[in-house]
């Protein structure tokens, strides 16, 4: 017996069938998986609620459960529980005394949001306005859950304000009270807008400010901007995870931005001016005549802002060799080859070929 079915439904042991059914309906609405798609704890509660109702909603199963609970208490008193240490025994016997009270105020849950930004925005930093559907404080009762001018919350009768209920018997487990949801308090005059929860689902808007150079995966915490707490408990936080959209051209490496710039054979030979994107807009890059493929050019201060100034953008120049397929292009290239211009224009190649020939002779 892992949990006490009565406590799960938040009803007393003498509750009649109607009370049990009402409690079941209320709780299944509250913990339905459709309303908590990403909350395993709520899904587990839903499972427990159904398990409890499966037994308590059926008079014959309920009678058997009650008998078993009583028998269980008899066995417990005999003290034959193999595998239990004296400490467990003491905890079970004196559990009532030692158990801390966790009632009343409860902190609200954290909200999570993924903010996707461009590389430019990541470099610049600045503020972003975001809005999404989430639970926020109820406007009618300002988050208290109590009807304006209504009576203050009262102690839960099922758990006596403890928030938990112990089943029959010495070793019976403690189960969170389903009537007050473990808070030990009940709204005497529940606010009609939020039904006493103090929270209400709506579109919530926030402004997130990001530092210049923010990295993908960075987390920004907006304290107290999460879901409101229960019974005046403090609100949770809003945790914003930053995701920087990959840029098709620029790649971040530490404080540098790297890119590969393709140039033609003739651009590499004759030199050229090519417009290259940077996070600050396009910049004209001077390709010096006779550049070697793989050469890295440095655009100072076009990288990521850092403590010691801004990083650079590294432009790696790659010569794209023409693919012959066009007969005119092939003819032009053959002409270039035959003219022998290559031998004097490519001194390294010429020297290397000569060295190869000497090697063969030796
Ligand atoms: Zn309200
Ligand atoms: Zn209770």
| Residue 288, in any domain of the structure | yes
Summarised one tens digit per residue, pLDDT across range 279-336 is 999 999 999 999 999 999 999 999 999 888 899 999 999 999 998 889 999 999 898 8
Q: How far is the CA of 165 from the centre of ligand 2 (A)?
A: 8
* Ligand 1 midpoint to CA 195 (Å): 7
Q: What is the pLDDT of residue 90?
A: 47
Mean pLDDT for the stretch of residues 65-74: 71
Position 98 scores a pLDDT of 43
**345 lies in some domain:** yes
Ligand 1 centroid – CA 36 distance (Å): 20
Nearest ligand to the CA atom of 9: 2
Cα–Cα distance measured from residue 306 to residue 213, given in angstroms and rounded to the nearest whole number: 7
Q: How confident is the model at residue 69 (pLDDT cuts 50, 70, 90)?
A: confident
- Domain around 296: 251-361
Which residue stretches of the chain are H helix? 5-9, 17-31, 40-56, 59-78, 86-98, 119-124, 265-270, 327-338, 341-345, 347-361
Residue 125: inside a domain: no
> What's the CA-to-centroid distance between 179 and ligand 2, angstroms?
5
Residue 172 forms part of a structural domain? no
Phi and psi at residue 221, in whole multiples of 5°?
-105, 125
- High-pLDDT (> 90) share of the chain, %: 57
- Taking alpha carbons only, the member of 175, 174, 169, 173 closest to residue 71 is 169
Q: Which residue has the higher pLDDT, 362 or 352?
A: 352
Q: What is the mean pLDDT of the chain?
A: 87
* Domain CATH code at residue 345: 2.60.260.20
Residue 15 has pLDDT above 60, yes or no: yes
From the CA of 176, how far away is ligand 2's center (Å)? 8
Nearest ligand to the C-alpha atom of residue 23: 2
* Cα–Cα distance for residue pair 177/154, rounded to 1 Å: 15
Tally of domains within the chain: 1
pLDDT of 279 reads 96
Mean pLDDT value of segment 101-106: 64
- Give the whole-number percent of the chain exceeding pLDDT 70: 90
Q: Write out pLDDT tens, residues 220-256.
A: 999 999 999 988 788 999 999 999 999 999 999 999 9
| pLDDT over 60 (residue 103) | no
For the cut 50, the answer to whether the pLDDT of residue 99 exceeds it is no
19 within a domain of the structure (yes/no) = no
Cross-strand pairs, 176: 164
CA–centroid distance, 212 to ligand 2, in Å, is 50
Ligand nearest to C-alpha 192: 1
Strands of 238-312 (E only): list them. Answer: 238-244, 251-253, 256-263, 272-276, 283-287, 296-299
Residue pointed to by tokens 């600045």: 126
**Residues flanking ion ligand 1, Cβ below 5 Å:** 138, 140-141, 191, 193-194
Distance of CA 42 from the midpoint of ligand 2 (Å): 18
Closest C-alpha among 267, 280, 271 to residue 322: 267
Residue 85 inside a domain? The answer is no
Rounded distance, CA 169 to CA 74, Å?
7
Spacing, Cα 276 to ligand 2 middle (Å): 67
In a domain, 213, yes or no: no
Between the CA of 6 and the centroid of ligand 2 the distance, in Å, is: 11
Please determine, for residue 343, whether its predicted confidence score (pLDDT) is greater than 90: no
Concatenate the DSSP letters of all residues of 164-218 into one string. EEE-SSTTPPEEE-TTTTTSSEE-SSB-TTTTTSSEEEEEEEEEEEE-TTPPTT-
- Residue 208 sits at φ, ψ, to 5 deg, of -110, 125
**pLDDT over 50 at 338, yes or no:** yes
Hey, what are 348's tokens?
């390294």
pLDDT digit string (tens) for 125-180?
999 999 999 999 999 998 889 999 999 999 999 988 888 888 777 777 888 898 99
Interhelix angle 17-31/40-56, nearest 10 degrees:
160
Does residue 305 lie within any of the structural domains?
yes
Centre a 10 Å sphere on the Cβ of residue 348 and count the other Cβ atoms it contains.
8
d(CA 323, CA 316) in angstroms, rounded, equals 21
Better-scored residue on pLDDT, 11 or 171? 11
Ligand 2 geometric centre to CA of 180 (Å): 4
More confident residue, 73 or 292: 292
């Amino acid at each position: 017996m892992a949990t006490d079915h009565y406590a799960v439904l938040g009803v007393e042991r003498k509750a009649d069938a109607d009370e049990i059914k009402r409690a079941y309906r209320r709780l299944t609405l509250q913990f339905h998986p459709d309303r908590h798609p990403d909350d395993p704890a709520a899904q587990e509660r839903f499972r427990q609620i159904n398990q409890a109702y499966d037994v308590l909603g059926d008079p014959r199963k309920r009678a058997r459960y009650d008998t078993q609970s009583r028998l269980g208490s008899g066995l417990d008193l005999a003290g034959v529980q193999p595998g239990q240490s004296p400490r467990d025994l003491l905890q079970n016997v004196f559990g009532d005394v030692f158990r801390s009270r966790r009632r009343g105020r409860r902190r609200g849950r954290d909200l999570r949001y993924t903010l996707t930004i461009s590389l430019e925005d990541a470099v610049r930093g600045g503020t972003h306005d975001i809005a999404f559907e989430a639970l926020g404080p109820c406007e009618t009762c300002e988050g208290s859950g109590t009807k304006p001018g209504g009576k203050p919350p009262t102690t839960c009768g099922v758990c006596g304000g403890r928030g938990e209920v112990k089943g029959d018997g010495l070793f019976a487990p403690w189960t969170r009270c389903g009537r007050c949801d473990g808070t030990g308090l009940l709204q005497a005059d529940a606010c009609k807008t939020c039904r006493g929860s103090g929270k209400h689902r709506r579109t919530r808007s926030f402004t997130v400010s990001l530092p210049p150079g923010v990295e993908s995966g960075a987390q920004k915490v907006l304290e107290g901007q999460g879901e409101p707490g229960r019974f005046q408990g403090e609100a949770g936080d809003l945790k914003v995870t930053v995701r920087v959209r990959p840029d098709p051209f620029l790649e971040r490496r530490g404080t540098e931005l790297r890119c590969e710039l393709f140039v033609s054979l003739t651009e590499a030979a004759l030199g050229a001016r090519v417009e290259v994107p940077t996070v600050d807009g396009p910049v004209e890059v001077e390709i010096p005549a006779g550049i070697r493929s793989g050469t890295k050019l440095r655009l100072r201060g076009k990288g990521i802002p850092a403590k010691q100034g801004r990083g650079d953008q590294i432009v790696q120049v790659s010569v794209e060799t023409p693919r012959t397929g066009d007969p005119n292009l092939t003819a032009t290239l053959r002409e270039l080859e035959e003219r022998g211009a290559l031998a004097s224009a490519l001194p390294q190649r010429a020297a290397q070929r000569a060295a190869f020939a000497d090697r063969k002779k030796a």
